[in-house]
Amino acid sequence: MDELKKIFNQNLDDVLNKINIESVNIEKKVIKWRRIIHQNPELGNREYKTAELVAQHLEKIGLEVTRNVAYTGVVGLLRGNRSEPVVALRADMDALPIKEALDLPFSSKITTIYNGEEVPVMHACGHDAHTAILMGVAEVLSKISSDIPGTIKFIFQPSEDSRPDGEEGGAKLMIDKGILENPQVNAIFGLHVVPFPVGKIGVREGGLMAGVDNFWIKVKGRATHGAMPWTGIDPIPIAAQIILGLQNIISRQIDSTQDSAILTIGKIHGGEQPNMIPNEVQIIGTVRTFNEALNSFIRKKIELISVNIADSFGACAEVTFSNEKSPVTYNDAELTKNMYPFIERVVGKENIFNPNPIPVGEDFAYYQQKIPGLFLLLGTAPIDEHLVALNHSPYFYVEESGLIQGIKTLSYLAYSWLEQKK
């Protein structure tokens, strides 16, 4: 048994060393791809040029390629020295309707039509880095395909962050189109660049990113002249009372020592004239939680508070929740523990940290609902602190020297997981 373990470890070391060498060799290409994608950003379900760049690269290195999955998604299949097991690696490709504020040689100058309006477009979340990293991983692993004990599926996903109103997309649609089948995927890995120090990797077991549940409240009153408010039912102050009531859910009805949640009102609209009381007011908001039970509790409270406050003033309130509620990005406990040593081999124990849960959404969670998944945070903040900005900021900046850690990490995870399962 000791001899078999020794042979396993030696084989593993040999392949991981090959990954290191190939990762160094491809680093400059990955940076070049990232800059091309950054300079030519595309919004969700419209990633035509990005998808073509990806597909041509995957075909060039010998992968089986499927185009136009869930609009513009691309899937590459790398078959190793056996057909099973199957592991997937995922990157998202879409940009955001944000105007870039940094003056870089490859800054975006692109504009496009989004929801009927012309908007600027920028890779303000780092998906350009994710796509370039996974293109690099595909090439690295293709160079050692004879050593790979299984099959690797490379998923280049559209529309994680952006798509026109009313349009389907993202991970959920990819899954509906059968992306985890033929061949059946057994586990999945992904990562996200974040403004943590370059070279650091965040690993958290369990809930990493929040479930996102958006809601709409329509407060219906009765329109009248603003000079005689008693002749109608004014939905505007009623909406204000509802908003104040909703804030009590988080501050007074949740045990903050045991759990956390966020409720934010992002938009309120009602009326057109200063002297006219409108018929209705619309309130739009979002809830962020880290478990489904708490989300269900908050949903019930939102409806109860809204309906009862409106009713007490003679109005009525209709509450609607999003049909595409994003689940919690939840890292499988066993998978996280098993893969931790291989992440440590990439960056060293001193560069791994356990991040606090982050109250933003990530649709990688849909994959994790179907199969065990591990989602990591890759630090790409530069040493120069004036360039540090949060994702979705017009000042968001990626320190490209950190991309090689992403290449090595995903390559290590895919190979090591397959090696453990063979």
CA distance 343 to 370: 23
pTM score = 0.92
Q: What is the pLDDT of residue 5?
A: 52
CA distance 169 to 347: 34
Q: What is the pLDDT of residue 106?
A: 98
CA distance 407 to 76: 16
CA distance 170 to 53: 19
Q: How confident is the prediction along the chain (422 residues), in pLDDT tens digits per residue?
A: 455 455 556 688 899 999 999 999 999 999 999 999 999 999 999 999 999 999 999 999 999 999 999 999 999 999 999 999 999 999 999 999 999 999 999 999 999 999 899 999 999 999 999 999 999 999 999 999 999 999 999 999 999 998 988 899 999 999 999 999 999 999 999 999 999 999 999 999 999 999 999 999 999 999 999 999 999 999 999 999 999 999 999 999 999 888 899 999 999 999 999 999 999 999 999 999 998 899 999 999 999 999 999 999 999 999 999 877 889 999 999 999 999 999 999 999 999 999 999 999 999 999 999 999 999 999 999 877 777 899 999 999 999 999 999 999 999 999 999 999 88
* Total Cβ atoms within 10 A of residue 102: 14
CATH architecture of 211-321: 2-Layer Sandwich (3.30)
DSSP strand pairing (86-92 vs 187-197): parallel
CA distance 155 to 291: 27
CA distance 69 to 64: 14
| CATH code given to domain 2-209+328-421 | 3.40.630.10
Chain-centroid distance of CA 395 in Å reads: 19
* Total Cβ atoms within 10 A of residue 182: 11
Number of Cα atoms under 13 Å in the Cβ half of residue 327: 15
Chain-centroid distance of CA 350 in Å reads: 26
Question: Read out DSSP for 292-306?
Answer: HHHHHHHHHHHHHHH
CA distance 45 to 374: 25
Token output for 309 = 């406050």
Phi, then psi, of 405 in degrees rounded to 5: -65, -35
> Residues of CATH 3.40.630.10 domain(s) within the chain?
2-209+328-421
Stretch (H or E) spanning 155? strand 151-157
Q: What is the pLDDT of residue 9?
A: 67
CA distance 386 to 100: 16
> Residues of CATH 3.30.70.360 domain(s) within the chain?
211-321
Query: Hey, is 71 helix, strand or coil?
Result: coil
